Structure 1
Amino acid sequence: MSLWKEPVKTSIETSEATEMARPEIPATKPEAERPLQPAFRSEPVQGKPLAESLIAPDITIEGKIEGAGHVRIAGNFKGDVNVRGDVTIEPSARVTGSVRAEKVTIAGELIGNIESAAHVELLQTGALTGDLKAGSLSVAAGSRMRGQAEFGWDDVKDGTSAHKANGNNGTAS
């Protein structure tokens, strides 16, 4: 006695019967089965907001971040960040490296320079050790900064600004 069933042979072995038994296979995949486009695009799509990437609190990454989109860092990151979007450093985060972005919000710790940002916001829990070049700067009471700051000049993005402020414990002179 066998454990499997023997295949039953049909008496019609013509090409007509074989063609009828084959399912129709379309030449292209239907719209629903096509793979989705990647979430990352080199240029933002008009009318749509940029996507945000998150480095979670328990994550430590060493490397480089580049591209278009917003980045929120809640963990530890060592390396340079260069994005066409916003960078947010959460209160428990620590970033070591230079940052280039449209808007930089610091609630954690940044050890490195901020280069050519349109706006920098240093929150109450934020600490910056490094130089800053931005179109505008907001500093909350209680924040800390050690380094030079250049802001408010049209040529800040070129790096040729002559106006500087020395930062020490959140004060400028």
Structure 2
Amino acid sequence: MFRKSSKTKPPKAAPIERITSVLGPGISWRGKLSGKGGLRIEGSFEGEIGLNGMLVVGETGRVTCQEVRANTVIVAGAVRGNITAEKLEIRSTGRVWGNVTTMNFSTEEGAFLRGKVTMEEKVKLDFKEEKEEQEKSAQPAKNDQGQAETKS
């Protein structure tokens, strides 16, 4: 009548990408942004973005870049520049001016895109450059003979 339950474990949930940093409303930033993790932009950013993780451009967010590269990009604000991502989602309030290269693309009714969409089976994001640059900046400066400089 009563059976022992089998000791099977439920399947593990897929990892959820998380937002680890926020550029808040009223904040403007210029430069090169790279790293690993999730970023939400509610202010304005101008420069270059290469993010090994998720980028969310919120409704008040404004991004102007030559190219935005991230694993997942969600646009609810405005992006001017090309986007390369494994997954791109443009929400109903989102506006994109630029070409898109992605594996997975979705839009909500009311979303705006002016540019070309290229669907690929695999997208090359190449975050290797950022990793090498971060490692290089962490190393001590070298003198003319190639030896590490020390402060006396």
TM-score band by shorter chain is 0.5 to 0.7
Equivalent pair of 1:54/1:74 in contact (CA under 8 Å): yes
AA partner of residue 60 (structure 2)? S
Match of 2:124 among 157, 163, 167: 157
Greater Rg over alpha carbons, structure: 1
Paired position in structure 1 for 2:48 = 80
Q: Could you tell which deviates more after superposition, 49-58 or 100-109?
A: 49-58
CA distance in 2, matches of 1:150, 1:48: 26
Q: CA deviation at 1:48?
A: 10
Q: 1:63 to 1:124 in 2, by over 3 A?
A: same
* TM-score normalised by the chain length of structure 2: 0.67
Paired position in structure 2 for 1:68 = 36
CA distance in 1, matches of 2:48, 2:18: 20
Paired position in structure 2 for 1:125 = 93
Q: 1:59 to 1:102 in 2, by over 3 A?
A: same
Q: CA deviation at 1:72?
A: 0.5
AA partner of residue 72 (structure 1)? R
* TM-score normalised by the chain length of structure 1: 0.60
Q: Indicate yes or no: 2:60 matched with 1:92.
A: yes
CA distance in 2, matches of 1:114, 1:129: 10
Q: CA deviation at 1:154?
A: 1.3
Equivalent pair of 1:150/1:156 in contact (CA under 8 Å): no
CA distance in 1, matches of 2:109, 2:102: 19
Paired position in structure 2 for 1:112 = 81
CA distance in 1, matches of 2:37, 2:27: 20
Q: 1:130 to 1:48 in 2, by over 3 A?
A: closer
Equivalent pair of 2:17/2:53 in contact (CA under 8 Å): no
Per chain length, whose mean CA-contact separation is higher, i.e. which structure has more relative contact order (CA < 8 Å, sep 6+)? Answer: 2
State, as a whole percentage, how many aligned pairs show the same letter.
33
CA distance in 2, matches of 1:49, 1:106: 15
Q: CA deviation at 1:49?
A: 6.8
For structure 1, the 5+ residue unaligned runs are 1-46, 159-173
Q: Which has the higher strand share?
A: 2
Equivalent pair of 2:51/2:69 in contact (CA under 8 Å): yes
For structure 2, the 5+ residue unaligned runs are 1-14, 126-152
